[in-house]
């Protein structure tokens, strides 16, 4: 039976998109696992309900998850509530300096959904601190993208083996 990994992402400057794509590449090689990579605006409750595991990827904007990521959770939370308990998830955040509050917000939502965290969150700090640097397109270093690919591969392997 094929398992489904849903990766929901949002990005304004490309950093989080690169992270999500790397996770999808890492997961994509696992037999028996289908990977869906969806922008947060395109993902809906039916996608959440159809998935067996999740990676949520967002930038941290103004010490919070991005508004588009919040919109995804707002649209999906109640339709999925009580219907996805115990499913595994992981979080990736692209931040200028911290990222922990965005992780904390997603963890609280996942707690309400009764999801199960299966890996530590990946927080990638770009150190962008000026308006120009914050708004500039991002290029994520290969070593960091490797970490994201490993996260995707880990979730996919755990699904394929029935660990999660």
Q: What is the domain partition of the chain in residue ranges?
A: 3-161
Beta bridge partners of residue 58, listed in sequence order: 93
CA count, 13 A, side-chain hemisphere, 139: 2
What distance separates the 2 farthest-apart alpha carbons in the chain? 49
Q: Which residue has the tokens 């849903």?
A: 6
For 41-82, the pLDDT digits (tens) are: 999 999 999 999 999 999 999 999 999 999 999 999 999 999
pTM over 0.75: yes
Sign for the CA dihedral angle at 66, 70, 75, 80 comes to positive
pLDDT at residue 61, rounded to an integer: 94
- Six-digit token string for 153: 């591969």
Task: Please check whether residue 84 is in contact with residue 43, taking contact to mean a CB–CB distance below 8 angstroms.
Answer: no
Mean model confidence pLDDT for the chain: 97
Task: Please check whether residue 19 is in contact with residue 55, taking contact to mean a CB–CB distance below 8 angstroms.
Answer: no
Question: Is residue 32 scored above 90 in pLDDT?
Answer: yes
CA Rg, the chain, in Å?
15
Task: Please check whether residue 116 is in contact with residue 87, taking contact to mean a CB–CB distance below 8 angstroms.
Answer: yes
Which of these CATH numbers, 3.40.50.360, 1.10.3720.10, 3.40.50.300, 3.40.50.1010, describes 3-161? 3.40.50.360
């Amino acid at each position: 039976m094929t398992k489904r990994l849903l990766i929901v992402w949002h990005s304004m400057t490309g950093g989080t998109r690169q992270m999500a794509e790397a996770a999808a590449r890492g997961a994509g090689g696992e037999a028996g696992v289908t990977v869906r990579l969806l922008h947060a605006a395109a993902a809906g409750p039916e996608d959440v309900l159809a998935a067996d595991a999740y990676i949520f990827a967002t930038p941290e904007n103004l010490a919070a998850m991005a508004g588009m990521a919040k919109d995804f959770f707002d649209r999906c939370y109640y339709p999925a509530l009580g219907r996805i308990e115990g499913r595994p998830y992981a979080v990736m955040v692209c931040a200028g300096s911290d990222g922990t509050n965005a992780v904390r917000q997603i963890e609280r939502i996942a707690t309400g959904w009764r999801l199960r965290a299966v890996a530590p969150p990946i927080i990638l700090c770009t150190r962008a601190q000026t308006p120009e640097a914050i708004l500039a397109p991002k290029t994520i270093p290969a070593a960091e993208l490797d970490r994201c690919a490993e996260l995707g591969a880990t979730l996919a392997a755990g699904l394929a083996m029935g660990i999660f």
